[in-house]
Structure 1
Amino acid sequence: MNILQYAMQMETDGEEFYRDLAANVENTGMRSILTMLADEEAGHYRVLADIEQGSAEVPETDLLNHAKNIFAEMKDTGRTLHLDKAQIDLYAEAQAIEQKSIDFYTEKAAVVYQDAQKQLLMRLAREEKKHYFLLENIIDFVSRPATWLENAEFCHLEQY
């Protein structure tokens, strides 16, 4: 299996993982964020498939701004999000998967010879870092929802 095929499989696995998480969460805001993450992974797969065919570009996404708006809406409703430890552990597992993706893309960018491939892999690594960061904020939000948003306006979900 070459780098592209392996990366495509990672993105497929990530998409399935996020869709499964989304299907098992009752809160519509969290479901929306997890679905956005799944859609992002599907988009990465399409980019990698295009590369395999000879051309591709990784588009910049506005994921963090969309997620921040959803968090704000969830906070404004005043409803507390109750998740059990197992669900929070799933977000931590997703975060670990994102870290593996970051490491994979960064390592492969260091060994490819073509500048275009190197730039593409680094762009994918940056996108995965956004996912990692978002998951970190999800974990914080569900662990301490009462104080999260006040701090979020100043130090969370910043643009990369």
Structure 2
Amino acid sequence: MEKDQKTVIIETAIEAEKETLRTYIKSAIKISNTLGKNMFLKLALDELNHREILEKALKNMLEGGICKFPEVPKNDVIKIVPDIENEIKESIHLGQDDLTVLRIAQKVEQNGIDYYKDCVKNSWDEESKNMFSYLVKMEEEHHSLIQMQIDYIEGTGYWLGLREFTLDD
């Protein structure tokens, strides 16, 4: 793969992270529930972190020709999952506008997942493969967090796609 193609792939990913960051900030403003606002703000911070990872990798590649995957600290998304579960039990019922915002955010995450999976398939070395694999994992976690909110709003008895209870219990 030519260096120019590698640069385009990473620059495209950087722009996608910037756009997702903007989307999450706008979503945090639009959504009525405090829990949803906090989730979108935390997701926005994650997207900012993803962009910084990609920018460092691009800089390393342009300076030395190697796409060096920078060290990444434990992600905040993992830490907030238990808090979200407790807050959802205590929070008020969310409205349909919130559901629309969440579905849009979920589509954004799915697009990111698809893009980064394609980057993994087309990665040019082990470092770039590790970086894009990490980003796939993070976007999948975001998708799951958003699904938790959607399941709660819809009140269908499902949590992350799994039935919470049955009438036979």
Question: TM-score normalised to the size of structure 2?
Answer: 0.78
Aligned to 1:69: 83
* Rounded Cα–Cα distance in structure 2 between residues aligned with 1:104 and 1:143: 28
Aligned to 1:142: 153
Aligned partner of residue 2 in structure 1, secondary structure: helix
Based on CA coordinates, which of the two structures has the bigger radius of gyration? 2
Aligned to 1:45: 51
Aligned partner of residue 70 in structure 1, secondary structure: helix
Aligned to 2:20: 14
Aligned to 2:65: none
User: How many Å apart are 1:137 and its aligned residue?
Assistant: 0.9
Instruction: Count residues in correspondence.
Output: 149
Aligned to 1:102: 113
**Structure 1 runs of 4+ with >4 Å offset:** none
Aligned to 2:131: 120
Is 1:15–1:38's contact at 8 Å kept on the other side of the alignment?
yes
Is 1:102–1:129's contact at 8 Å kept on the other side of the alignment?
yes
User: How many Å apart are 1:75 and its aligned residue?
Assistant: 1.7
* Rounded Cα–Cα distance in structure 2 between residues aligned with 1:104 and 1:82: 31
Within the alignment, does 1:34 sit opposite 2:45 as a pair? Answer: no
Q: Which runs of 5+ in 1 are unaligned?
A: none
* Rounded Cα–Cα distance in structure 1 between residues aligned with 2:100 and 2:33: 17
Aligned to 1:133: 144
Question: TM-score normalised to the size of structure 1?
Answer: 0.82
Q: Which runs of 5+ in 2 are unaligned?
A: 1-6, 61-67, 165-169
Report which of the two has the higher share of helix: 1
Aligned partner of residue 93 in structure 2, secondary structure: coil
Say if 1:80 and 1:29 are closer, same or farther in 2 by CA, change over 3 A. same
Within the alignment, does 1:91 sit opposite 2:91 as a pair? Answer: no
Identity over the aligned pairs, expressed in percent? Answer: 22
* Rounded Cα–Cα distance in structure 2 between residues aligned with 1:43 and 1:155: 33
Is 2:32–2:98's contact at 8 Å kept on the other side of the alignment?
no
* Rounded Cα–Cα distance in structure 2 between residues aligned with 1:106 and 1:96: 15
